[in-house]
Structure 1
Amino acid sequence: MMEKQQVLLNDIYNLILNPATRDWERQQLVALKKAVEAGTAFKAELARLEASLRPLAVRDNLTPDVTDFYHKITGEPELAEPFDLTRHYAADQPYEERAIFAGGCFWCMVEPFDARPGISAVISGYTGGHTDKPTYEQVIGQHTGHVEAVEIIFDTRVVHYADLIELFWQITDPTDDQGQMNDRGTHYRPVIFVRNAQQRAIATASKQELAASGKYSRPIVTVIESAQKFWPAENFHQEFYKKNRQRYKRLEQTRRQFLAVQHLRSKLRRYLQRFKQK
């Protein structure tokens, strides 16, 4: 019991020092720390802390790291299980390559790639901005210039970069540079971040082919930019589709419906174009 208490106290101390913790959250954590140091029973103070965090927790309005801590103290430790970022920091094998795509909320960008054969890892994160170690709060506040993105590490013997580009077009709206679907803001803009000349050539050719296909009535505005530093997002955001299945299912369903309607309109438009040419 004492060992578990010390683990939780360490978590609390780290959250107090975490710059991403909101002031109000920090006040609640500091209050527990001071009370325990003054001799109040840790169990009672932890219950008080849980009660104070609960109203924001049920509205999904705690910061990511505090959310993980809340899941830990409310009997849902699997939701706070640390995501292994080893592959992000490890050197790639000769047959491995990385792709970085931004296409709206990264919660919905992971599963489509993660489900493909040859994918070693899909990591949610932030890139394209001007601030080191950005937090989720900073990014969604549009203070850092970053976009939400995914870094995909893949085996080139199984899947090719061009295949991933093709999938990217299928799950995003390339005609919207102000966000994606219900996700509005510059931090949700669609971007293909290329890591070398070969990726740029493939992405550029694919974009030109899409523009010439007549699939969309509006211009293709997804931009192709040189890759910058990729910062992995907080643990809460990693593999969101696995840890928060019901919430993810609702979000993904809305996204799929929007894209299905868009793709249907595209087919009708191209059919009418061919009909007029006869």
Structure 2
Amino acid sequence: MKLDQEEVLGELYNLLLNKGTREWERGQLNTTKEAVESGGKLKEQLAILEAQLRPLASRNNLTPDVADFYLKIKDEPEGHIAFDFEKHLLSDLKNQERAIFAGGCFWCMVEPFEKRPGIISVLSGYTGGELASPTYDQVSGGYTNHVEAVEIIFDTRLVSYAQLLALYWQLIDPTDAFGQFQDRGSQYRSIIFVQNESQKQVAEQAKAQVIASGKYTRPIVTEIRLASPFWPAENYHQQFYQKQPKRYRRIKRARQQLVRFQSLKDKVPLRKPKPKK
């Protein structure tokens, strides 16, 4: 797809104003913008920018919006996929509800829910913290007390909140207070964010059933909290499993292996220390 100069300059300008753009990235982007505005050939300047960004891109270490732009100038298909945030709305208040679940990296939380009948939309984002409109760097650095989470809009005629909870418990390790599987840190805690008293009762019943099942030998630490503002994550993170299927499959496979390992470990009773003579 051929990039239009006016479109590129517009994106560069927006990235320069974007609070999530790191200073080093901002410097490279500004150099490109000034060179193009001064008459430099767009194709040549983008090639220079691509070379500058490539080392960080190869390590998946660009900020999300810059990563999207990098994929676009590389003409990678995923760089041209934009999540339609306007479709993530309750359009039928009588028959639709929201559910918010945090259970580790939101990349692995979208597909299981999105492929379930009755799901209208699944949005990755940040919630539970103090800062408004946090960036990925702020959340991943543990500076805001947010967790990565998914907000689900579902049709109550086709799937119930209790059924979503049943799926949720299958995706997490509810005994881990310091993250989820390979995702370590407070931003990966497992938390159920309820919208109202009805959801709270259903969630507490589901948690009680998990505890009573005896499946886990360690305490269940998954929290149940009243929902707080949910801030959408950057476009790069939305529907990640569709945009970068190979990378997603590797992450999903590692997570599934850890889920199986944890399941086996929890079936082994903890050894009680022998009493001292």
Task: Tell me if structure 1 keeps the 8 A contact 2:124–2:148.
Answer: yes
Q: What is the SS of the residue equivalent to 2:60?
A: coil
Paired letter, 1:213: S
How far apart, in 1, do the equivalents of 2:180 and 2:158 lie? 29
Structure 1 match to 2:176? 176
Structure 1 match to 2:274? none
**CA distance 1:63–1:80, shift in 2 (3 Å):** farther
Aligned ranges 1:200-239 → 2 under 5 Å: 200-239=200-239
Task: Tell me if structure 2 keeps the 8 A contact 1:32–1:45.
Answer: yes
- After superposition, give the CA deviation of every residue in 1:43-75 in whole Å (9 maximum; x if it has no partner): 221111111011111111100000100111111
How far apart, in 1, do the equivalents of 2:225 and 2:26 lie? 38
Structure 2 match to 1:185? 185
Deviates more, 1:260-269 or 1:136-145: 260-269
Identity of aligned residues (%): 57
How far apart, in 1, do the equivalents of 2:177 and 2:131 lie? 22
Consecutive unaligned residues in structure 1, runs of 5 or more: 270-278
**CA distance 1:10–1:231, shift in 2 (3 Å):** same
What is the Cα deviation at residue 92 of structure 1? 4.2
What is the Cα deviation at residue 265 of structure 1? 4.3
Structure 1 match to 2:31? 31
- After superposition, give the CA deviation of every residue in 1:206-243 in whole Å (9 maximum; x if it has no partner): 11111111110000000000000111100000000111
Structure 1 match to 2:242? 242
Aligned ranges 1:82-231 → 2 under 5 Å: 82-231=82-231
Aligned ranges 1:256-275 → 2 under 5 Å: 256-266=256-266
Count of aligned positions? 269
Deviates more, 1:156-165 or 1:92-101: 92-101
Task: Tell me if structure 2 keeps the 8 A contact 1:80–1:235.
Answer: no
Task: Tell me if structure 2 keeps the 8 A contact 1:80–1:236.
Answer: no
How far apart, in 1, do the equivalents of 2:231 and 2:144 lie? 12
Paired letter, 2:193: F
Root-mean-square deviation (CA, aligned residues, Å) is 1.6
- 1:42 equivalenced with 2:42 (yes/no): yes
Task: Tell me if structure 1 keeps the 8 A contact 2:218–2:266.
Answer: no
Q: What is the SS of the residue equivalent to 2:52?
A: helix
What is the Cα deviation at residue 41 of structure 1? 2.1
Consecutive unaligned residues in structure 2, runs of 5 or more: 270-277
Q: TM-score, structure 1 length as denominator?
A: 0.93
